[in-house]
Amino acid sequence: MPDFLTAALYKFVTLPDFAAQQAPLQAFCEAQDVRGTLLLAEEGINGTIAGPEAGVRAVLAHLRSDPRLANLAHKESWSHKLPFYRMKVRLKREIVTLGVPGINPNQMAGQYVKPQDWNALIADPEVVVVDTRNAYEVGIGTFEGAVDPHTKSFSELPAWVEAQSAPGGLLAEKGGKKPKVAMFCTGGIRCEKSTAFMRTQGFEEVYHLEGGILKYLETVPETESRWKGECFVFDERVSVVHGLATGHYDLCRACRDPISEADKASKLYVPGVSCPNCHDRKTEEQKRGFIERQRQVDYANRRRQPHIGAKLTSSSAHTDEDGA
């Protein structure tokens, strides 16, 4: 049996006292030897935590002791290696940043679609299937026939929707009616917010995958799956496959993009310093910093000491809130 339990969770709920919860929640998680990231905002909570089973379940029970989070749902997976280095409870304006004021998924989200019903929906030729994740995530796996908006961050999605809603676009009206749209993401949080946004733009038939890709991979047999590739996750597992087993990708410690065995065979790959995706996007000063950091990692490994990982510049790290 794997040693560590990982729990991914989120809930849109009004938390006007969210800032006051930060320090007590941080202390409780640390006391349970639980690591990961939890984001708190007035609109709710989002994050992934991992640790000994007893510790993770204690944190979940602690969260649900707040009546506002009593029905907080989570998704579980197991690993032999702790997938996080530290515990962080952060305060945010949004638990997933779209950047459009007035979006309330509790009141405006699209229609949930169970994983077992998803295949039939996305097989409908009249449905535009949109992957709401970022380009580096889509690059290692997505659903058959899904549209990749090629966004670098979730906050770029509204501009893409506007552009594709113009005449000739994928989301343009036909016969005076907007198309049906099905949206999906890793764990469900981005598609809840994106479908709520779509409804403000006049799209009436908007659907999203309940529980996200993770629930689909957990629920739908691989023999019946329309998923191709692997699913990027924001922890040390890097990616997962059907059954939520750990996938086959590693992480470039410079840009935080997933890298394959082929990427690591490239002359442009230098462990901890660069990969084919970022070798020409880093300054010499950044590379010198990465080289020194990798030297410290290698030294710690030789001595069999833990190394808590990289401190990255804001331009090189993907945000934790992308992970749900």
* DSSP 8-state symbol, 223: G
Tell me the pLDDT of the chain averaged across its residues.
Answer: 91
Q: Where are the beta strands (DSSP E) in 154-243?
A: 180-184, 206-209, 227-229, 231-232, 239-240
Confidence of residue 302 (pLDDT cuts 50, 70, 90): confident
Mapped onto helix, strand or coil, the DSSP state of residue 245 is coil
Task: Please give the model's pTM, rounded to 2 decimal places.
Answer: 0.85
Which is it for strands 127-131 and 180-184: parallel, antiparallel or unpaired? parallel
**Per-residue pLDDT for 315 more than 50?**
no
pLDDT on residue 168:
96
Say whether 278 is catalytic.
Answer: no
Residues 165-177: tens digit of each pLDDT: 999 999 999 999 9
* Beta-bridge partner residues of 111: 207
Residues 66-115: tens digit of each pLDDT: 999 999 999 888 888 888 989 999 999 999 999 999 999 988 999 999 99
- Over range 231-243, report the average pLDDT: 91
- Which tokens sit at 316? 């090189």
* DSSP 8-state symbol, 168: T
Tell me which residue of 257, 202, 248, 203 sits closest to 229, measured CA to CA: 248
- Over range 279-287, report the average pLDDT: 90
Confidence of residue 320 (pLDDT cuts 50, 70, 90): very low
Pick the catalytic residue from 185, 191, 252, 275: 185
Neighbours of 197 (CB within 10 A): 24
pLDDT > 70 fraction of the chain, expressed in percent and rounded: 93
